[in-house]
Amino acid sequence: MILVGFSGSRSLPSSFAPVVRSLVSSARASGRGVAVGDAPGLDRMVLDCCPDAEVFPVTGARSVPALVIRSVSLIQTVAGSGSGCGFVVFPARACPIGLVPSRSSSKCFAGFGSGSWSSAALAAGLDVPLVIFGLPASLLPGSWGVWVAAATAGPWSSGRQLVPLQGRLL
């Protein structure tokens, strides 16, 4: 099944719940499955409205390496699910300086301090269509490409989709 993956802040305000619910409903209505981690915040919001989502849990202690392994597995599974997959991210803050899209998980998860943005960088590096929610366009990394409205109407219209720069992968 083609998947739409979700990643985001563990402290995402509950005011985002209606948007998350609409995005999940839209993904499912298009015949796609939903994939998500097992953290509080965004992950919990997704699971509250989609109990049959494919969940990627942390194995063992919730250490940084275990969180990275979980996130990489989620992104690689979404990327491998086929044409039409996508990745939705609700980061809590602007992208850390120096983080760029890459096919290499070790380059994306190299201690930048934001699992959401590291996940976004890996998804973009693997050519998974990426949509960011919850931040103004001025806080999105221009070095990654051009950020355009994800849609003109409906739940996707408040998101910004990445149109990547050519030859930007490291």
Q: Which residue has the tokens 């005011």?
A: 15
- Under CATH, what is the fold of the domain 3-164? Rossmann fold (3.40.50)
The kind and range of the H/E element at 24 are: helix 17-29
| Per-position pLDDT tens, the chain of length 170 | 999 999 999 999 999 999 999 999 999 999 999 999 999 999 999 999 999 999 999 988 888 889 999 999 999 999 999 999 999 999 999 999 999 999 999 999 999 989 999 999 999 999 999 999 999 999 999 999 999 999 999 999 999 999 987 654 44
CA distance 112 to 138: 20
User: What is the per-residue pLDDT for 163?
Assistant: 94
CA distances from 21 to 11, 121, 133, 144, 148 (A): 17, 24, 13, 28, 22
- Compute, in degrees rounded to 10, the torsion defined by CA atoms 109, 96, 120, 13: 110
Q: Which two tokens stand for residue 124?
A: 């973009």
